[in-house]
């Protein structure tokens, strides 16, 4: 088991600071890998990252919701160019640095979305994506 970062992630980075095994990394390039990702082979399931996320984007893998009901105004972030994700997000992260994302969609209150499809990218980033070479 591991913890999973979902598309609710807006790169705040607060989770990175508390991870005792430094297994959370920012996706790069941002346009292709817009979230932060948890290396499943290194995560020790301590749960310290969960309360640090201002967007409640982190879940135990088994508890990633397949029917997440939006409170309203949450933003989902996907790779740039993803159909239906045509908003831009400009914010400031935990350290005061700017965050710019170009594949964003704002959820309406009561809208239901399946976040389980966000599990696989956490694995892909380290097994076949840019995170693989970063760990070599």
Q: Which residues bind ligand SF4 (CB under 6 A)?
A: 3, 5, 9-15, 18-19, 21, 23-24, 36, 38, 43-49, 52-53, 55, 57-58
CB nearer to ligand SF4: pick between 51 and 81: 51
To ligand SF4, the closest distance from the beta carbon of 58 in angstroms equals: 5
To ligand SF4, the closest distance from the beta carbon of 16 in angstroms equals: 7
To ligand SF4, the closest distance from the beta carbon of 4 in angstroms equals: 9
To ligand SF4, the closest distance from the beta carbon of 50 in angstroms equals: 7
Q: How far apart are CA 57 and CA 6, in angstroms?
A: 5
Comparing C-alpha atoms, which of 13, 90, 88 is closest to residue 58? 13
CB 104 within 8 Å of CB 89: yes
CB nearer to ligand SF4: pick between 22 and 86: 22
CB 22 within 8 Å of CB 114: no
Q: How many C-beta neighbours within 10 Å does residue 76 have?
A: 27
Reduced to 3 states (helix: H, G, I; strand: E, B; else coil), residue 18 is helix
Q: Which residue is it, tokens 């969609």?
A: 105
């Amino acid at each position: 088991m591991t913890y999973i970062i979902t598309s609710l992630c807006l790169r705040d980075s607060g989770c990175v600071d508390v991870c005792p095994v430094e297994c959370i990394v920012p996706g790069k390039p941002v346009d292709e890998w817009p979230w932060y990702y948890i290396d499943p082979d290194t995560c020790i399931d301590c749960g310290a990252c969960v309360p640090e996320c201002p967007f409640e984007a982190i879940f135990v893998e088994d508890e990633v919701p397949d029917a997440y009901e939006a409170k309203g105004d949450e933003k989902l972030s996907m790779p740039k160019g993803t159909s239906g994700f045509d908003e831009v997000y400009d914010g400031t992260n935990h350290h005061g640095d700017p965050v710019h994302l170009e594949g964003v969609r704002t959820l309406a209150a009561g809208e239901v979305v399946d976040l389980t499809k966000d599990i696989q990218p956490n694995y892909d980033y380290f097994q076949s994506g840019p995170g693989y070479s970063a760990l070599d």
